[in-house]
Structure 1
Amino acid sequence: MAIEPRAGILDIQPYKPGAADAPGVANPAKLSSNENALGCSLKAVKAFETAASRLHRYPDGGASRLRDAIAREEGIDADHIVCGTGSDEILQLLGRAYLNPGDKVVQSQYGFLVYRLVAMQSCARLVSAPERGYTTDVDAVIAAAGDDTRIVFIANPNNPTGTYISDAEIRRLRDALPPTTLLVIDAAYTEFVDAEDYDSGMALARERDDVIVTRTFSKIHGLAGLRLGWGYGSKAIIDVLNRVRGPFNVNLPAIEAGAAAIADRDFMQRSAQHNATWVDFLRQQIGGLGLEVTPSVCNFVLVHFPQTAGKTAADADAFLTRNGLIVRGVAPYGLPDALRITVGKEADNRRLVDALTEFMGQ
């Protein structure tokens, strides 16, 4: 007889990443995981390769070199930074540190799936606040949170919708929450946003001790394979997270590559420019086929399909896969009629539009 795990663990559905293979198709275009179409900084690659000569050494347990590099580029205090194996680990550390069984956690309706995992791992209660137009509704979040919520998770901009709320709205939310509620702003896609009314939340986290912002190297920096992220908040919050993380949670090559990547502003700028061009292209071209495309400030678009037999999201997913184009179904988010499509290289983007044109016309 198997040893029983803690109550609630077997109710958790493991996170399923975007597919990477299309059966029977050689070298398919992977547009399922919001990876950087341009790859990563060559400076990061060189730093990673150089680190190979020191693989017998333990990494710096505090990732000091990486935190210092982040602090220089962001203009913040390194003592207010904690690093992790992707921003996912920071989110999980927050659950481990601040959630007790039965505590309430609030997210927006189509919030990132990891928030649900964090709540369930801690035996906490997850409440989803309805969105408006696939965008976080601050009033709904405030109403759902009430006076007894322990953590509010807000992805800004949000995955999988690609939408964002303004800095003013984030501040209004924080002001309406009780001081006993921790506001977690997941800003994984912040570098792609150029809207004047947007802020990553870093300024708010600098001002208050009840806000933390999580960031990642997986998107604009193109280091998804290294699993590297960081969080920024008050010294009190960072101190708590340092007490619950593993002593060597970030490996040595990741520290070195991350420090090089965040200093390569030219690569970041080229990545943002590529994305701005092609996310607009995808929205216009796919929208022209009669499909609804949610306006996105990220490196992906959310495309909605009809429920007509032969034209559904599942039908489109299967058709695209057969044609070597791997996208992401988002039914687990409560969006069974939509697909999330990552911005790829120019050739992949044009190929995708051609394939969807054929699909809708057949």
Structure 2
Amino acid sequence: MTLEPRPGILDIRPYKPGAADAPGIANPVKLSSNENPLGCSPKAREAFEAAAKSLNLYPDGGAVKLRAAIAEMTGLEADRIVCGTGSDELLQLLGRSYLGPGDKVVQSQYGFLVYRLVAMQSGAELVSAPETDYRASVDAILEAAGDDAKIVFLANPNNPTGTYLPGDEIRRLHAGLPSTTLLVLDEAYAEYVDEADYETGVDLARNHDNVVVTRTFSKIHGLAALRLGWAYADRSIIDVLNRVRGPFNVNAPAIAAGTAAIRDTEFQRRSAEHNREQLAFLRQQLGGLGLDVTPSVGNFVLVHFPDTDGKRATDADAFLTSRGLILRPVAAYGIPHALRLTAGTAVQNRAVVNALAEFLKA
């Protein structure tokens, strides 16, 4: 007799991280995972090293100091914050808490792949709402959600497109959803955005009991290796998440590093400034090569390639990889003609541009 998992589990295709290796290349340039090219805050590194002296001790199960630091720096209430091993864990905890077999989950057409995993892990049905020019459509999401969606996931800004919805559209989306639908706003890239009409969803979450905002330390804070994130929501939701998370789900070095990182506003400022400069460079240079680049407010760009023999995205990916430049194919998102390029250092970005110029002329 073969032990069988719950129905639907074997239908799940495991999440595939961005590649890190290029065959035959000793030190490839990894621009496939939207990591911070400046590294992390020196203060966070020092805090991590200090915490490593006490690895024999259990961490604080409530991440009290980290939540207090987040509250201090964001103006939020510490008792309405829960921390997790990356925002990915928090998204999965929401699925475990609020989804069951047959429930409806809605995302935008090119939503983050983890939303599909969350739905499938719970046996829920995932519905993707069509986007317009790689931008989420509130009307399409509301139509897909109807009056019976349990969760609506929306990344704002979105990965892998880099597009966003302004604050008035987010409010219109929430207003159009029934009170029984949970709106989850995934703001992993929010700290990079400086558009005047962009708004974080924390005010919605503060004033309504069916909104959750998630953030991560993996992007602007440069702590991807530590797997650290947090969520802000009504106390009733935080209470539920605290009941289903592991008792020590965040490790002590991550708590220490995250506490230092959230307070290092100078490192965050430098990271955001570097990103603005490099996004502008990539848009200008890649556009000059004749490539279409979706406008992005994240720390990456989506680069589209022609449907021409020898010049497709798969060809470009192979060419770049052979030169030790690793980008992220996004066929799994339904965009087979594009590659996602993390905005790296100035030297790395120039290397990609030069290589693509050679590729397109070949």
TM-score strictly above 0.5: yes
Shift of 1:110: 0.1
Shift of 1:304: 0.6
Match of 1:15 in 2: 15
Q: Which runs of 5+ in 1 are unaligned?
A: none
Is 1:197 aligned to 2:200, yes or no?
no
Match of 1:161 in 2: 161
Match of 1:230 in 2: 230
Provide the C-alpha distance between the structure 1 equivalents of 2:310 and 2:218, rounded to a whole number of angstroms.
35
Shift of 1:297: 0.3
Q: Counterpart of 1:156 in structure 2: which amino acid?
A: N
CA shift digits 1:82-138 (9 cap, x unpaired)? 000000000000000000110000000000000000000000000000000100000
Is 1:131 aligned to 2:117, yes or no?
no
2:23 is paired with a residue of what secondary structure?
coil
Match of 2:65 in 1: 65
1:1-362 equivalent positions in 2, closer than 5 A? 1-362=1-362
Structure 1 stretch 203-212 or stretch 242-251: which is displaced more?
203-212
1:79 is paired with a residue of what secondary structure?
helix
Q: Which runs of 5+ in 2 are unaligned?
A: none
Q: Counterpart of 1:275 in structure 2: which amino acid?
A: N
Aligned residues between the structures: 362
1:82 is paired with a residue of what secondary structure?
strand
2:36 is paired with a residue of what secondary structure?
coil
Shift of 1:287: 1.0
Provide the C-alpha distance between the structure 2 equivalents of 1:33 and 1:211, rounded to a whole number of angstroms.
27
Provide the C-alpha distance between the structure 1 equivalents of 2:25 and 2:255, rounded to a whole number of angstroms.
36
CA shift digits 1:45-72 (9 cap, x unpaired)? 0000000111110001010010000000
Q: Moved runs in structure 1, 4+ residues, more than 6 A? A: none
Shift of 1:206: 1.0
RMSD: 0.5
CA shift digits 1:215-244 (9 cap, x unpaired)? 000000000000000000000000000000
2:266 is paired with a residue of what secondary structure?
helix
Provide the C-alpha distance between the structure 2 equivalents of 1:200 and 1:240, rounded to a whole number of angstroms.
23
Shift of 1:2: 3.4
